[in-house]
A and B are shown apart, each in its own frame.
Chain A
Amino acid sequence: MSTDLAQAADADLPYTRQEMMAIATGRELHDGDLAIFGVGLSMLAGYFAQACHAPNIRTMTEGGVYGATPVGGLPWGIECNRISSNATSFTNALDALGFLVASGRCDVGIIGAAQVDKFGNVNTTGIWDGDGIIGDSYRLPKTRLTGAGGANDIACGAGRVIIMVTHEAKRFADKVSYISSPGYLDGGDARARHGFIGGGPSAIVTTLGIMRPDPETKEFFLDAWYPFSSVEEIRASTGWDLKVSPDAHVVPEPTAKELAALRRVDETGMLRKK
């Protein structure tokens, strides 16, 4: 589908693709989870889950901001005053990312990605020109990105990780040029070599669908698409030969309750911008 056609089709939707992605991500969170959210859209997805179906989720950000919910719209950062005006505890980085994540206590984390590969490895560090391979000497990136932040620590330590990413072919590479945050590395039991206490990414939730890792090979396959997307569109927007689960299915549309909860959290309408 061309972009024009996609936008025309979207105009009829009662929700945006980004909202569908946030709701699908939020559905991955369970009541009672100790959950850590990255900056931006992943925060909206996380606090949506709390507002909708997981009221007893225990939330935190990597700054060590506990017991807080965003006030006045999407926080500009995980330490923004919008998330600091109703906290019950403020601590620090070593506490949140160390004592609570590296320790193995944290059940689930949500992170974003500039680029992700078929084993769920995430690149947020840079884009290199040519074939994207840096080579034996560390070349300057064509485009410098943001670096890993706390995502590397969440990817190593959280029980499960949900990667939230806009679905475009350039973002879905066979192999990322730089592993900022480890997924399953080169697949199989590669994570075991490093003894990570966290289980690795359980889902890649995109603006077009949901991918999950094969239990053996750890290669991500297509598990579900959205009411407005299709297997063909998703495969065409993925930079590797994406396998499709025999059980692949369509994700249920957002319910009125879910949309209302999401929009209460997304007060400033970040996810409604087309």
Chain B
Amino acid sequence: MSRNKLISLAEAVERHSWDGMQYASGASLPVGSDTIVFGRELVRRQRRDLHALFHCNTQQLNLLAAAGAVSKAECGFSGLEVFGFANGLRRAVETGQLALEDYSNLSFGLRLLAGALNWPFAPSTVNIGSDIQWRSAFAPDETPARHKIPTVTDPFSGREVGALSPLKPDVAAIHVSLADPLGNAIMLGTEWSRFELSRAAKKVVLIADAIVDTACMRQFPNLVRIPDIIVEAVVYWPFAAWPQSSPGFYDVDEAHMKAMNKALATPEGTEAYIGRYVDGYTDLDGYLDMIGRDTIEQLSRTGTAFLLDPFRQWIKTPEEVRALASGDAR
């Protein structure tokens, strides 16, 4: 039965994370949406030995890797786009602290699709013939790798293709623009692979920039790509993707993207960053103060703001959300 699933971020991380879990973030590449606040909370709680499944690296994986929380990671892309190399992840890989298994952006999505459909594997016409197929960081002595993307024969044409292993993460924290308290969600901008991930993961926690009334979902059911029946919990957290962006809500914080990546390049910088930006708040108000109210106002003046217009009438105020969260969700 549908129920109010709104819980606090702290509670979501307490209930839905553990050392050694396979953890996926539902994001849209390194500059767009991501559940970075969930990652900050994982660091604060000193979760360890995570196996990170990130379609693309984001500042969340960059931070988790820099903090030493991740021992294995699988990615399709592991940089920060125009912001350059991800220094925290890079340092963890170069020192051998973290084993990073490489795929591509299509093959990673296909692996989520295979997991969602409970397929034994997904056939792949990409990644074959390149070192993505032949080299495995998880099995370094096995060259060419035989168990990463094994070659299989198409039973119809006889052509050799690759077999991609399915992904079924233990927990996916998925960033969405709008969610209702039941867990129906709308994503603005590219959804990247959040649709497939929401079906592949064993548990789905939504982190939403805004909470709307369910009437909003009934008005735009075609846009609700994540329905409540597959969602475990909903967390309300504005600027959840900061310093990355969220179409309709806020632009990327260029200065913090650069400062954060610079800090994560060294253990000392990472420690200082965690002191200030992970341990530097205890609640949502404190978090928004930490970003800075002026910065928030500036980032909110996004050229994508009009994307939110059709939904504004259903967006709940922070007070309304607080009242909902303290109700039957407990």
A residues 68-103 in Cβ contact with B at 8 Å: 71-72, 74-82, 84-85, 90-94, 97-98, 101-102
Q: Render B68-93 as a binary contact track against A, CB cut-off 8 A, 1 for contact.
A: 00000001111101110110011001
Q: How far is A75 from B57 in the complex, measured between Cα atoms in Å?
A: 18
Residue of A nearest to B154 (CB): A195
Is there a chain B Cβ closer than 8 Å to A9's Cβ? no
If the complex has contacts A76-B82, A93-B55, A141-B93, are A63 and B303 also in contact, measured as CB distance less than 8 A? no
If the complex has contacts A72-B303, A140-B96, are A79 and B189 also in contact, measured as CB distance less than 8 A? yes
- On whether the beta carbons of B196 and A94 are closer than 8 Å, the reply is yes
Residue count of chain A within 8 Å CB distance of chain B: 65
Q: How far is A80 from B194 in the complex, measured between Cα atoms in Å?
A: 17
Is there a chain B Cβ closer than 8 Å to A21's Cβ? no
- On whether the beta carbons of A141 and B143 are closer than 8 Å, the reply is no
Is there a chain B Cβ closer than 8 Å to A153's Cβ? yes
Q: Distance in Å from the Cβ of A7 to the closest Cβ of chain B?
A: 23
Listed stretches B168-176, B244-252, B316-324; interface member: B244-252
Is there a chain B Cβ closer than 8 Å to A145's Cβ? yes
Q: Which chain B residues border A40 with CB–CB below 8 Å?
A: 81-82
- On whether the beta carbons of B189 and A153 are closer than 8 Å, the reply is no
Q: Distance in Å from the Cβ of B268 to the closest Cβ of chain A?
A: 20
Is there a chain B Cβ closer than 8 Å to A59's Cβ? no
Residue of A nearest to B159 (CB): A195
- On whether the beta carbons of A146 and B77 are closer than 8 Å, the reply is yes
Q: Which chain A residues border B46 with CB–CB below 8 Å?
A: none
Q: Which chain A residues border B259 with CB–CB below 8 Å?
A: none
Chain A interface secondary structure, helix, strand, loop or mixed? Answer: loop
Listed stretches B8-16, B102-110, B227-235; interface member: B102-110
- On whether the beta carbons of B136 and A138 are closer than 8 Å, the reply is yes
If the complex has contacts A62-B105, A144-B90, are A149 and B76 also in contact, measured as CB distance less than 8 A? yes
- On whether the beta carbons of B140 and A180 are closer than 8 Å, the reply is no
- On whether the beta carbons of A138 and B189 are closer than 8 Å, the reply is no
Is there a chain A Cβ closer than 8 Å to B35's Cβ? no
- On whether the beta carbons of B77 and A148 are closer than 8 Å, the reply is yes
Q: How far is A72 from B301 in the complex, measured between Cα atoms in Å?
A: 13
- On whether the beta carbons of B191 and A92 are closer than 8 Å, the reply is yes
From A71, A75, A79, A94, residue with most partner B Cβ within 10 Å? A79
Is there a chain B Cβ closer than 8 Å to A213's Cβ? no
Is there a chain B Cβ closer than 8 Å to A67's Cβ? no
Residue of A nearest to B130 (CB): A179
Q: Distance in Å from the Cβ of B267 to the closest Cβ of chain A?
A: 17
If the complex has contacts A65-B190, A195-B159, are A77 and B31 also in contact, measured as CB distance less than 8 A? yes
Q: How far is A142 from B96 in the complex, measured between Cα atoms in Å?
A: 11
Q: Which chain A residues border B109 with CB–CB below 8 Å?
A: 92-94, 97-98
Is there a chain A Cβ closer than 8 Å to B53's Cβ? no
Question: Among the listed B96, B126, B252, which residue makes an inter-chain contact with A157, where contact means beta carbons less than 8 Å apart?
Answer: B126
Question: Among the listed A79, A94, A150, A180, which residue makes an inter-chain contact with B31, where contact means beta carbons less than 8 Å apart?
Answer: A79
A residues 163-217 in Cβ contact with B at 8 Å: 178-182, 185, 190-191, 193-197
Q: Which chain B residues border A142 with CB–CB below 8 Å?
A: 94
Q: Which chain B residues border A2 with CB–CB below 8 Å?
A: none
- On whether the beta carbons of B252 and A80 are closer than 8 Å, the reply is yes
If the complex has contacts A153-B104, A179-B130, are A147 and B76 also in contact, measured as CB distance less than 8 A? yes
Is there a chain B Cβ closer than 8 Å to A125's Cβ? yes
From A98, A152, A156, A185, residue with most partner B Cβ within 10 Å? A152
Is there a chain A Cβ closer than 8 Å to B18's Cβ? no
- On whether the beta carbons of A144 and B94 are closer than 8 Å, the reply is yes
If the complex has contacts A81-B252, A93-B105, A180-B131, are A197 and B190 also in contact, measured as CB distance less than 8 A? no
Question: Among the listed A81, A94, A98, A139, which residue makes an inter-chain contact with B245, where contact means beta carbons less than 8 Å apart?
Answer: A81
B residues 153-207 in Cβ contact with A at 8 Å: 159-161, 188-196
Question: Among the listed B104, B159, B247, which residue makes an inter-chain contact with A84, where contact means beta carbons less than 8 Å apart?
Answer: B247
Q: Distance in Å from the Cβ of A64 to the closest Cβ of chain B?
A: 5
Q: How far is A39 from B56 in the complex, measured between Cα atoms in Å?
A: 13
Q: Distance in Å from the Cβ of A149 to the closest Cβ of chain B?
A: 4
B residues 109-159 in Cβ contact with A at 8 Å: 109-110, 113, 125-132, 135-137, 139-141, 143, 159
Residue of A nearest to B27 (CB): A79
Is there a chain B Cβ closer than 8 Å to A3's Cβ? no
- On whether the beta carbons of B78 and A79 are closer than 8 Å, the reply is no
- In the A-B complex, list the 6 residue pairs whose CB atoms are closest, starting with the nearest: A146-B79, A77-B31, A63-B190, A149-B77, A77-B81, A138-B140
Interchain Cβ contacts under 8 Å between A and B, 9 examples: A64-B191, A76-B252, A77-B30, A94-B196, A144-B94, A146-B78, A146-B85, A149-B77, A195-B161
Q: Which residues of B contact A (CB under 8 A)?
A: 28-32, 55-57, 75-79, 81-83, 85-86, 89-90, 93-96, 100, 102-110, 113, 125-132, 135-137, 139-141, 143, 159-161, 188-196, 245, 247, 251-252, 254, 257, 302-304, 307
Known: A80-B252, A81-B304, A180-B132. 7 other contacts (CB 8 A): A39-B82, A40-B81, A76-B254, A77-B31, A81-B251, A145-B85, A147-B75
